[in-house]
Structure 1
């Protein structure tokens, strides 16, 4: 049996694609209003309608009525009231065990459809918000990390622990770093740690592609083209279309749209963009685990070739009030000093005319989008570019990278020790690709030690087409999970804040001297707050609050 993994993300429970979701309550089934959307409860719905049969003290049961829609996770409720922090850990393990026992086999098809190797269970930080242990958050977090780490390993299911408060998220990651758990990534664990430390120092920018969104139910580039061809009923040209390259396939769709709708050829790109936007928005649901992990990194600059808005949703879920975007989307918005930004290199579903997909749109890319290319190249020059879920076959991206690499090589002929543009996290080993980009991009292929040991050698001559395709699908799911665990490890080492450090709620278990120091600094914060009319003292109070002081 494959060992499960405990993931930690910063965000909201209703903003993550999962197979099952856990909602905390008590023995009397008093559920807080903040969980209505997570439970799929409409404005006129009542909690009573979802109350599981047989509910009572210590219960962990599925909702009586499940949310409509195939992509919605199965909703579970758990009585989280416990007498101690360790009891909260027992509650978390108990609900995961119940899910596996009662729904494990039923969750496997939904996990497979979403490209997941194992079912994913999402839950909040139990016991801290109305669960009776909010004042002992440090001990609760230690108990959750320990209990869920053991449960996932033994039960063969993945769990995403979703922290809304940044202090909880930072404390969880600190606890995991201190926990001596063998790294499932083997030697790649050191690479992930190094990348996380670079993120923490502000040295990294993101570049991500369709591979991040596929786990959220969106099609790959080739899958998108197939869907467009199907919608335009071009079946009679199927054999011919399959012989064309991707850009030519999109060009044919664009030309057909213009002819069918008698559109001005100059506006045919907008027609294609509208059709692409329809496909993407119909398939978009919740951000994938990869989106949530990337958003948790809090990288300020990011670039994508994706048209969807799932990354933006994940960033907003981890940073701001619901319904108010927490990221500036370029080139339509201006950047601010307090918000991260995302550059949509190939357009956005909210701006159909901007979508770049066909050969003609790529040919004329520089005419319309040259400033975008300049911004991408500036990141290549000034940051370490972390490339995730992108095939590195995009003509424009390749040109940008070659030009930057050429510039660096031409101005420094003696020392290329720091000439790498960035790191490409790839889903499959490609020796030719690695050799092509050696010295320019470091190529990392995350693999789990257990998967490598269990993998059977392929026997293509002895397999029929269906068996070979199934084997390839299994390998894709393994690779996607290894990528997620790699990103989770990066995120564990990337946290740059310590908003729990001076918060007495996290002080349980600290050495006496550390606990006394926390009390002393909080007393200092209260005294300094009395002088907030002075700007210098106001700045000191602000810094102390950023480290968790509660001098109110």
Structure 2
């Protein structure tokens, strides 16, 4: 199977990858935002806010492996074209870097992923060889990345942080119409879900399977870790497997004590690197998310692309802002975590308002379930209540309120849920779980491509070359409107227009920072420019 090229909005320093390409120049300076990827002892000093890396080029090569002991390896890539050699020179550098990465043997990809993942920014779009030519770069870089993924067999993540960059890259991919190794039924499903997302009809429910790709435990693994921490004698620990999960957790909570249990959850499920699937979910143009997970990884991924996701019930929802309901609590509020049988029972009583949110989504949206076994007692209860309400109102039988993306075929479980949701498997029952999880990532990547609004780069000058004649005329007219509106105007109408123009790539879009400072990380937010590459 060929490798796949993902396009994703994320922060490369926090996305779980096996290898990361870091832009630099001949003096081996990098923007300080890349320092988390480099061993501290290799930072020899700073010049003009850039970090100096204590390594040396051996000759005329453009790729330098950064020594390290961890699973993730960084590679410095010279992307500063002082001789004005153009995009071909940059693309040759990308090929050289990916070939060098392929020569490093990786026997076990991070967190059991089926294939090695190599992450890179849009090389050279800051002060490098593609400054001001980001549209042309994307059109030529994506085929180069696909060729490398095909030749070397690893997956590649092109990581972009600016909304203009992400929208433009997705437009290029839609125009090419290639790059997704999926059967026809999954392609058709991606088109349906992408359309629902564009129309604001899609909500997302995600479970522990999503965070397993970031190294966090599933429910069974969590119980095993708690048993280890509790110091239970072997006979009792062996008997835990015979108990229902909530009862196992109740026994462990009693042995550990609530204070130690909360401290364990807070530390185990705290902030950290997120997986590709977290970023793909956070990128979707969806406003409502629900999870039974305790960790903050989807929120982190959303924050890294400028999405202010409000976490319910701990924060107040804001008009126009996406929100995420933590149905079983949040690790940063460990007292809220639902683990034991008694706490599960409370969801139908004192926590009924939280369940009511999911009731509402199942009645008013199409809910996409990702990373869940659909065996959670709360999900079963909520689905039953929604089904009963619809039957009471005489709703036509056969109505399905969502889609479950299952890793492998399970006819019995699909039949159990068929009155409520459609279950779509990534592969047959005997497919390895890691391969099925990777196919799920590819499907999410296609949904993201098809659902990304096609206008986020319309007013970004760096992407003018992507526009057709009609779009150019529209961009010119909107540009005149932008000149007539003051961003600091107190008029409510003016502020509505300013917000629209920003969504179309004007001013606050990624182009805003492209020439003022390095932009390989492609972000427009002022406080994110530390990771935009001055030398790259």
Aligned to 1:437: 417
- 1:159 matches 2:176: no
Match of 2:131 among 108, 130, 134: 134
1: CA distance between counterparts of 2:264 and 2:470? 64
Q: How far is the alpha carbon of 1:497 from its aligned partner?
A: 5.5
Match of 1:307 among 294, 305, 318: 294
Match of 1:354 among 307, 319, 336: 336
TM-score normalised per structure 2 = 0.86
- 1:192 matches 2:149: no
Aligned to 2:219: 221
Q: Comparing both chains, which one has the higher relative contact order based on Cα–Cα distances under 8 Å and sequence gaps of 6 or more?
A: 2
Aligned 8 A contact 2:87 2:129 in 1: no
2: CA distance between counterparts of 1:444 and 1:36? 41
Matched residue SS, 1:318: coil
2: CA distance between counterparts of 1:50 and 1:125? 21
2: CA distance between counterparts of 1:134 and 1:543? 26
TM-score normalised per structure 1 = 0.84
Q: How far is the alpha carbon of 1:349 from its aligned partner?
A: 1.2
Aligned 8 A contact 1:81 1:127 in 2: yes
- The CA deviation string for residues 375-427 of structure 1, in whole angstroms up to 9 with x for no partner, is 111111111111100111110111001110221133235x346x211111111
Q: How far is the alpha carbon of 1:279 from its aligned partner?
A: 3.1
Change (3 A) 1:370 1:155: same
- 1:11 matches 2:14: no
2: CA distance between counterparts of 1:86 and 1:193? 34
Aligned 8 A contact 2:198 2:285 in 1: no
1:472-483 alignment to 2 at 5 Å? 475-483=432-440
Aligned residues: 500
Q: How far is the alpha carbon of 1:522 from its aligned partner?
A: 2.7
2: CA distance between counterparts of 1:535 and 1:211? 44
1: CA distance between counterparts of 2:379 and 2:100? 47
Change (3 A) 1:303 1:43: farther
Aligned to 1:485: 442
Matched residue SS, 1:122: strand
1: CA distance between counterparts of 2:180 and 2:487? 48
Match of 2:117 among 117, 120, 123: 120
Matched residue SS, 1:207: strand
Aligned 8 A contact 1:25 1:80 in 2: yes
1: CA distance between counterparts of 2:65 and 2:95? 15
Deviates most, 172-181 or 526-535 = 526-535
- The CA deviation string for residues 88-107 of structure 1, in whole angstroms up to 9 with x for no partner, is 33322321111002x1x2x2
1:364-403 alignment to 2 at 5 Å? 364-403=346-385
Aligned to 2:261: 272
CA RMSD of superposed structures (Å): 2.7
Unaligned 5+ residue runs, structure 1?
Answer: 259-267, 321-325, 459-473
Aligned to 1:328: 310
- 1:204 matches 2:206: no
Deviates most, 383-392 or 404-413 = 404-413
Matched residue SS, 1:75: strand
2: CA distance between counterparts of 1:521 and 1:381? 38
- The CA deviation string for residues 290-322 of structure 1, in whole angstroms up to 9 with x for no partner, is 1010011142111111111111111111116xx
Deviates most, 541-550 or 382-391 = 541-550
- The CA deviation string for residues 411-450 of structure 1, in whole angstroms up to 9 with x for no partner, is 235x346x21111111111101111121410111124xxx
Change (3 A) 1:124 1:399: same
Aligned 8 A contact 1:328 1:341 in 2: yes
- 1:147 matches 2:144: yes
Aligned 8 A contact 1:6 1:161 in 2: yes
- The CA deviation string for residues 361-388 of structure 1, in whole angstroms up to 9 with x for no partner, is 2223333311111111111111111110
Aligned to 1:231: 229
Matched residue SS, 1:135: coil
Aligned 8 A contact 1:58 1:78 in 2: no
Change (3 A) 1:379 1:548: same
1: CA distance between counterparts of 2:137 and 2:174? 16
Aligned to 2:87: 85
Unaligned 5+ residue runs, structure 2?
Answer: 513-536
Q: How far is the alpha carbon of 1:517 from its aligned partner?
A: 5.4
Q: How far is the alpha carbon of 1:537 from its aligned partner?
A: 5.8
Q: How far is the alpha carbon of 1:175 from its aligned partner?
A: 0.7
Deviates most, 162-171 or 519-528 = 519-528
- 1:294 matches 2:297: no
Aligned 8 A contact 2:266 2:331 in 1: yes
Q: How far is the alpha carbon of 1:272 from its aligned partner?
A: 2.8
1: CA distance between counterparts of 2:357 and 2:496? 34
